[in-house]
Structure 1
Amino acid sequence: MVYFPIADYRPDVSVVNGSFTDTLVNVLPADGGYIPMPSAMVVSRPLEEKPLGCIAFRSGNGVKIIVGGKQKLYSYDSQTKGWKDISQSGVTYQANEENKWSFALFKNMVIAVNKNDQPQVFKVFSSERFEALGGNPPKAGLVKVWGPFICLMQLTDNPNRIHWSGEGDETLWETKYNVSGYIDFQDGEFVQGATETTNPIIFLRSAIYAGSLMLGSKSPFAFQKIQDKRGARSAASIACRGSDAFFAGDGGFYQMSLDGQLLPIGFEKVDRTVFKTFDKFALDEMQGVIDPIDNRIYWSIKRGNNEQITFVYDWGLQKWSRLQGKPFTLFPVFTTGYTLEQLDEIAINLESLPASLDSPRWQSGAPMLGAFDDQNRLVMFTGAPMEATVVSQEMGAPDGSFNFITKMFSEVDTTQGLLSIGERRLRHEHAPITWHKERVCSCVTGAYHGRSRNRYHRFKLRIPEGVYWNHITGFNVDLRPLGRG
């Protein structure tokens, strides 16, 4: 038997006689292998508008989820699973797909902005509705918190400007008061986004700046350019968690450290595949979201036929994978918890529950990856595994010899996977891989039986949706050399 460890997902490089593959679907990177991607479980009724931004946070009253639509702002009701209108009284908002909502938590308030409306504020413990943020702040497409300052960027009237509030005061915006101020970046084009730290990193279209907090000076922030002629391709592709920052540039994915070091995380891995496969419009709409628990970032790209491709990068393992399916708008969320009565509404008995009782899904305040589906419903990725497809590297003797295969084992903790053998005699564009029919494994030995005599072989394991498994690490193959044909 010959053992082939599970191949890393690197579609940019050759898959022949190496340790890389161009096909891994609906699995997540793990040490020594891959693990399943949970399916989405619906936890709310549909929102009446398409969600255009959201924030989830824990408060003294539990978990609160606020969502912005085209004309209204909503709060999630965990009791009814519905949505409550908490818009400013008498105001119809003007958000849209090009000018979405951005939210930030400052002290005990939620600040909400979009480029077409006056910035809004909601006091978590006392407000029933949003109201206009005081002090005449500028209209903006993005809001961040830098220590004791609220920072507005993607300004409607000054796209290359960042404007911050007074120290600890969300209502002071005139520059002559309390170190409120702004900076106009003279090069680097327009502002795309920033990290949310005391000493932030600011991403422009073709430059990156590092900011330093300098309390006590005339201006609280000093800025230094750390990358020239390189910036974020789109605002939505920037994803940050603490000092960890990731973005998509022109032709590649990058990780930015707090000290300004730039790491090309997609080079010779996925960059060519992503940036040459998808058109400019799809790439400009790419959305980046960081998992609230694990060291993973998800870059989602929508394409035709109501489908979405998501490229997943684990920065701890420095490995990639790919998700494929219906479109979701991803965002980090906290679970709202369930009462026993609400569990009764989901399933008639414990065995019928879609997740075990110790799952974070049933707990209040547990962080996890959430999303809105194509029906505007809130979902959480806590269900049974999605259908997974794992394809090995392509194996063949460099001297043109034939190999004979009679059986193989997949190193995975389920017997419900379906395996097929792929083969071809020559490697060129007119001789694609021919795949045999899928086979089930022996219920006695766990072996997949199938015969193939050829020069090049690959193996494809498909684990159907809903089948529970934990890890896949490779393939054991009964492979015998036959000599040249």
Structure 2
Amino acid sequence: MIPFAPFEPDRTRYAIDASTAQINAIPVKDGWGPLPDLVPVSQALNAPCLGAWSVRKQDGTYRIIAATATDIFEMSAIDYSWAVISGPSAPYAVPVGDRWSATKFGQLLILCNLGGPAQYLDVDVGTEFADLPGSPPWARYCATIGEYLALGYIAGHPNRFMLSGIGDAGFWTLGQRGCDLQDFADGEEIMNIQGGERGAILSHRTAFTEIALTAGGDYSFTTRVINPSRGVFAPLSVVPIGPGNFVYYAQDGFFMGVAGQPIGAERVDMWFQELADSQYLNQVRGYPDPFRKIAWFQAQGVTGEKFLLGYHWQLDRWCFADNNVSEMCIMATPGITWDGIEALFPDWDSADIPWDSALLSGGALRFAAFTTDNRLGFFTGEPRAARLTTADVQLSTNSRSFVQQARAVADCPDFTLTAITSDKHGGARTEGQPVPPYPATGVCHFRSSALLHAFRMEIPQGTDWKHAIGIDPVARPEGRR
């Protein structure tokens, strides 16, 4: 059997344990599985989303919040429309290329960006956002660290880090109640804050710093550089994957953790550099799908279309999807009723939501995204059209092969196989015609003579399948020419 190997396009196409072309399939333990399609559920925002969150109230229900460059909205659970809940400082002015940063501080949802004052909402009883009290500085990033609200990349001071007073997100008088700041001489600008109960990790452009909270004394925190030679190039690419661990995009590729363990070298780094538009590499964005254990990185290609590159952190494997989405997020499903389905689709035949979908039960947290027309959707739909390709393999030792048939080792009922042949290593590759399986046996019949054979399996949109492992060809040896 020729396996559908891990997606590692930096490798040679002759390596049987690597594949240079897999699209819209995700890694599973025994090969590859389907990538669910994005199902839009909301009405459209009036502008591109620059941040979205689901926040849990104390009664166990969720509120769905989204923000644009000028306003903040809440989604209705009845007709999935968006109501403006902006504060008195609106319309906001998020800088071009920037996004909202958010953190939950107790029952307060706090949002910030460099273009105006930080905003807050009591998620239990609040009806609209307001300016955060205490006149905190404008900042690009916010996080909760123990009992402090932390701000990083302060307007006019990109290397500055600041804590509020202890237990009070609205107290910003320096020197009192633990409110303090630090300007970092090394590492350049702050790119990300990952907060925890006892401290945080600051990602700089060229370094990583550990923040440790102190118990009393003259300082509320201490700092320690934990990696002086590795940092984050794309600030929005940092994806938490566990306590104290994360993956990110640096100037020379993809890495894991503060130690800078390479995860993309000799696998996807060079391919990514060639596919992505170099002008927008610092805008690469990452977001975790914790249910499938995949960190998705979105980039803009040289054609102008966006794509997704995924890293499965438990299986240590990569995948690729051609979804062109705008904003990604983890969102509580709204719970679509029968009336809600009628509100979303023109007729029942158009409703492509599986009946066991999490969309039909509200409150389930799922990986979500906004479409290019600004509608919130969930990756809970039917499987996307997928394409899986094997390596170029010499099936007969020291000779050509004549392939008579091939069987897909997969539980997929609907697909085609295409034989891709070449007469020598480094020679031109020729693609045959797609061949469907014979209904009675599931075998695809070929008459293909070549030195090297690869097989491409194409699975149509909406096909019900779970696993695709590889191709089992039947071939007989031929001569050397």
Displacement of 1:27 in angstroms is 0.5
Map 1:71-470 onto structure 2 (within 5 A). 71-89=70-88, 91-198=90-197, 199-243=199-243, 244-256=245-257, 260-303=258-301, 305=303, 307-345=305-343, 354-396=352-394, 401-428=399-426, 431-470=427-466
Q: For 2:274 and 2:341, how far apart are their aligned partners in 1?
A: 47
Q: For 2:365 and 2:428, how far apart are their aligned partners in 1?
A: 44
The corresponding residue for 2:61 is 62
* Matched residue type, 2:226: I
CA distance change for structure 1 residues 90 and 102 in 2, over 3 Å: closer, same or farther?
closer
* Matched residue type, 1:435: E
Single out whichever of 339-348 and 135-144 deviates more from structure 2: 339-348
* Matched residue type, 1:190: E
Contact 1:17/1:396 (<8 A) preserved: no
| Partner secondary structure for residue 380 of structure 2 | coil
Displacement of 1:400 in angstroms is 5.0
Displacement of 1:383 in angstroms is 0.5
* Matched residue type, 2:153: Q
Q: For 2:133 and 2:15, how far apart are their aligned partners in 1?
A: 64
| Partner secondary structure for residue 342 of structure 1 | helix
Contact 1:334/1:367 (<8 A) preserved: yes
Contact 2:79/2:343 (<8 A) preserved: no
Q: For 1:286 and 1:117, how far apart are their aligned partners in 2?
A: 24
Q: For 2:420 and 2:428, how far apart are their aligned partners in 1?
A: 10
Displacement of 1:285 in angstroms is 1.2
> What percent of counterpart residues are identical?
25
Displacement of 1:275 in angstroms is 2.4
Q: For 2:75 and 2:173, how far apart are their aligned partners in 1?
A: 35
Contact 1:292/1:367 (<8 A) preserved: no
* Matched residue type, 2:85: I
Contact 2:136/2:172 (<8 A) preserved: yes
Q: For 1:193 and 1:17, how far apart are their aligned partners in 2?
A: 38
Single out whichever of 353-362 and 121-130 deviates more from structure 2: 353-362
Displacement of 1:438 in angstroms is 0.6
CA deviation string 1:163-190 (max 9, x = no partner): 1111110111121111011111111110
| Partner secondary structure for residue 159 of structure 1 | strand
User: How many residues of Structure 1 are paired with residues of Structure 2 in the alignment?
Assistant: 478
| Partner secondary structure for residue 167 of structure 2 | coil
CA distance change for structure 1 residues 396 and 69 in 2, over 3 Å: closer, same or farther?
same
Displacement of 1:446 in angstroms is 0.1
Contact 2:232/2:248 (<8 A) preserved: yes
CA deviation string 1:270-319 (max 9, x = no partner): 11211244232221111100113232100011225552221111110001
CA deviation string 1:346-392 (max 9, x = no partner): 57999975334432121222111101111001011111011100000
Contact 2:104/2:110 (<8 A) preserved: yes
CA distance change for structure 1 residues 347 and 310 in 2, over 3 Å: closer, same or farther?
closer
Q: For 1:33 and 1:284, how far apart are their aligned partners in 2?
A: 32
| Unpaired runs of at least 5, structure 1 | none
| Partner secondary structure for residue 369 of structure 1 | strand
Single out whichever of 119-128 and 376-385 deviates more from structure 2: 119-128
Displacement of 1:17 in angstroms is 4.3
* TM-score for both structures, normalised by structure 1: 0.94
CA distance change for structure 1 residues 359 and 57 in 2, over 3 Å: closer, same or farther?
same
Single out whichever of 449-458 and 326-335 deviates more from structure 2: 326-335
Q: For 1:191 and 1:405, how far apart are their aligned partners in 2?
A: 57
* Matched residue type, 1:46: A
Q: For 2:162 and 2:267, how far apart are their aligned partners in 1?
A: 38
| Partner secondary structure for residue 365 of structure 1 | coil
Q: For 1:48 and 1:184, how far apart are their aligned partners in 2?
A: 38
Displacement of 1:402 in angstroms is 0.5
CA deviation string 1:220-273 (max 9, x = no partner): 3222111122100011111225523111111111111xxx44321112211121
* Matched residue type, 1:273: W
CA distance change for structure 1 residues 436 and 445 in 2, over 3 Å: closer, same or farther?
same
| Partner secondary structure for residue 195 of structure 2 | coil
Q: For 2:344 and 2:277, how far apart are their aligned partners in 1?
A: 41
Selected match of 1:41 from 39, 42, 47 = 39
| Unpaired runs of at least 5, structure 2 | none
| Partner secondary structure for residue 176 of structure 1 | coil
Single out whichever of 216-225 and 73-82 deviates more from structure 2: 216-225
Contact 1:415/1:443 (<8 A) preserved: no
CA distance change for structure 1 residues 279 and 307 in 2, over 3 Å: closer, same or farther?
closer
CA deviation string 1:123-154 (max 9, x = no partner): 11222111110111000111111121111112
* Matched residue type, 2:266: E
* Matched residue type, 2:31: G
* Matched residue type, 1:286: V
Displacement of 1:209 in angstroms is 1.1
* TM-score for both structures, normalised by structure 2: 0.95
* Matched residue type, 1:203: S
